Chain A
Amino acid sequence: MSILQVQNISISFGGLKAVTSFNLSLTQGELVGLIGPNGAGKTTVFNMLTGVYRPTDGDVYFESNSGETKNLIGLRPYQITKIGMSRTFQNIRLFKDLTVLDNVRVAFHFNVKYNSWDGIFRTLRYYREEDEITVKALELLKIFHIDHKSNELAKNLPYGEQRKLEIVRALATNPKLLLLDEPAAGMNPQETKDLMGLIEFVRSKFHLTILLIEHDMHLVMGICERVVVLDYGLTIAEGTPAEISSNPKVIKAYLGEEVEVHA
């Protein structure tokens, strides 16, 4: 059963085609990698799926939290997040001057069942809901071992933990589909290994479908069930990690970039 159907989306910036006729189909529960050399258009694909950019062509069908399938074209990012797709950012975009806990609680915002009126007048509902999301937020932080830093400002976390907080924040929106943009960037091999375990853990715990962009081939080949390769905005290959690592087109695209590919 597919939860995401991307059909021929394209986009160009100032006459330059950044992504051409991108297609992708994700099945419920899959973990798929999106790889390709720098500038291949991977993040642009994410931006189109999440509504940050509007594709010039094509359609994106997504089976939302409520079970109905919707075309996402023209929806704003917050609308797409609400129906069950969430993301992290390649160049970390945390709310730097908020605490770790508040970064996560912001993501609960649209699921909170009280309004500004309750907030201003401190109704019972306010206290009940605040207590509830605080507990939930701490639980999520605990999975990623950063719950003890919940009162620190996000900007004061080390880089690796900032990346983890991005994932926690995305999870707090209660997504069906999670898009991770280079989650392991800047991490050392041990941290990357831990992260791989965490990604697999949250996938099964929250029944997630995950699409991830990554340059670290250990991670991609280690946990992805399927890999899509993008080069100059075109999909040049798609298959299992084993198929991809022996695909001559892929090797050619990466030529000169010295990438070790281990199946």
Chain B
Amino acid sequence: MIIMNKRVLTFFKIAGLILLGLLIGDALIYAGIIDEYTAQILTLAGINVIIALSLNLISGFTGQLALGHAGFMAIGAYATAYLVMHIHVPQHLWPVLVGISIIIGGIITAFFGMVIGFPTLRLKGDYLAIVTLAFAEIIRVLMINMEGITGGAAGLKGIPLYTEDINLGPVVSFTWIAVFMILIIFLIRNLIKSSPGRAIVAIREDEIAADSMGVNVFYYKMFSFTLSAFIAGIGGGLYSLFFGYLNPTMFNFMKSADFLVIVVLGGMGSIAGTVATGFILTYLQEFLRVLQDYRLVIYPLILIFIMLFKPTGLAGILEDIKTFISKKISAKAIRKTGEG
């Protein structure tokens, strides 16, 4: 019971801290200390982090490379947009509709994930990568052609935003996305630190050994991939109400590659790495002209160099620094005791 109390206490401590952080963020944006433009970038970064986390789940933690997360994002975005544009509710129920639509968008995306995961994840080898790549391309072509739902190549205009109030806009968008991001961070973290999560990581480490230790490999690959699609779909839904406009070209292969860069640079299988890199890269992308112009040349080089020289990414580099420092400290301590 004492242990339980301690756990409950920690929970409230963490929850309190997060809530405080969120409120401070909201206050800073509302007071204009964080200007509207920066607030928008932070919000966009939150969406990028959500989708990158979903990619990290299947690629970083489960070890299965997926290259079509822009496709999942698109499905979630269009599905959510369709729902909020076609269902009419009284003003006070609007946030409820938004929340439900985003979740349903995620569920629809998860369904697509299951459909393409089922034939590919049974197989050994790298079929998932190419199938998801092709899938995202096909989705994009279909979206251009399904003008009734998607507005075709001209794009889908007039998606309602989180709020019509212009003054509150930045705060409300930021809050919606921050809340979802925090929930998703905890969802993935808690999952990975539980028994099903260990089964998932075991698959990445050695599929045959995991199978021989009683892990139903196909089931957990499907689970992870479907959940990944679900989260990416949620990211897409959040994006559509943030932007108010969707166009199939927003979801091309370059977009999928952006998420891959965030995951790889942050460190595959590192949640903190993905979150940090997601914010840093989104920020740099908006502010650095060099990065805007040559992003598409620099990003692939990042992928190649990380894989060749430091496959654990920034998370791995930080880990190295930590070990280095602690070794220095313990060496010093030993020298001191030697002297004394």
Contacts and interface: CB of A to CB of B under 8 A. Distances in A.
Q: Do A and B come from one complex?
A: yes
Interface of A: 50, 52, 76-78, 81-82, 86-87, 89, 93-98, 102, 105-110, 112, 114-116, 118-122, 124, 126-127, 129-130, 133, 169-170, 172-173
A59 to B, nearest CB: 21
Contacts of A95: 201-202, 205-206, 209-210
A185 B263 CA distance: 39
A252 B211 CA distance: 38
A109 B210 CA distance: 10
A96 B205 contact: yes
A108 B195 CA distance: 8
A121 B191 CA distance: 9
B214 A114 contact: no
A153 to B, nearest CB: 11
Interface string B204-228: 0110111111111100000100000
24 contacts: A77-B212, A78-B211, A78-B217, A89-B212, A94-B206, A95-B205, A95-B209, A96-B206, A98-B201, A98-B205, A106-B199, A106-B210, A107-B214, A114-B194, A115-B196, A116-B197, A116-B223, A119-B190, A119-B194, A120-B190, A122-B11, A124-B4, A130-B194, A173-B213
A120 B202 contact: no
A187 to B, nearest CB: 21
Contacts of B332: none
A81 B213 contact: yes
B270 to A, nearest CB: 12
A40 to B, nearest CB: 22
Contacts of B215: 78, 106, 109-110
A78 B190 contact: no
Contacts of A81: 212-214
A86 B210 CA distance: 12
A61 to B, nearest CB: 20
* From A94, A119, A129, residue with most partner B Cβ within 10 Å: A119
Contacts of B193: 119
B187 interface: yes
A74 to B, nearest CB: 15
A98 B212 contact: no
Closest 6 A/B residue pairs (Cβ):
A119-B194, A95-B205, A93-B209, A81-B214, A110-B214, A77-B211
Nearest to A96: B205
Contacts of B201: 95, 98, 102
A87 B210 CA distance: 12
A52 B213 CA distance: 12
A204 B291 CA distance: 66
Given A78-B216, A95-B206, A127-B4, A106 B198 contact: yes
A106 B208 contact: no
Nearest to A107: B213
Given A130-B194, A173-B214, 14 more contacts: A77-B211, A78-B214, A86-B212, A94-B209, A95-B209, A106-B210, A109-B196, A109-B215, A112-B195, A114-B195, A119-B190, A122-B11, A126-B194, A172-B213
Nearest to A80: B212
Interface in B125-153: none
A94 B205 CA distance: 8
A81 B198 CA distance: 17
Nearest to A92: B209
Interface in B1-52: 3-4, 7, 11
Residue among B11, B191, B193, B211 with most chain A CB within 10 A: B211
Nearest to A95: B205
Nearest to A155: B205
Nearest to A88: B212
Contacts of A107: 213-214
A92 to B, nearest CB: 9
Given A95-B202, A98-B201, A116-B191, A106 B4 contact: no
Nearest to B196: A116
A31 B64 CA distance: 40
Contacts of A82: 214
Given A106-B202, A109-B198, A127-B7, A93 B208 contact: yes
Nearest to B211: A77
Interface in B172-206: 186-187, 190-191, 193-199, 201-202, 205-206
A76 B216 CA distance: 9
A105 B198 contact: yes
A99 to B, nearest CB: 10
Nearest to A97: B205
A76 B214 CA distance: 9
Given A78-B217, A127-B4, A98 B198 contact: yes
A114 B194 CA distance: 9
A50 B288 CA distance: 56
A182 to B, nearest CB: 16
A167 to B, nearest CB: 13
Given A98-B198, A108-B195, A116-B191, A52 B206 contact: no
Contact of B194 (A76, A78, A87, A120): A120
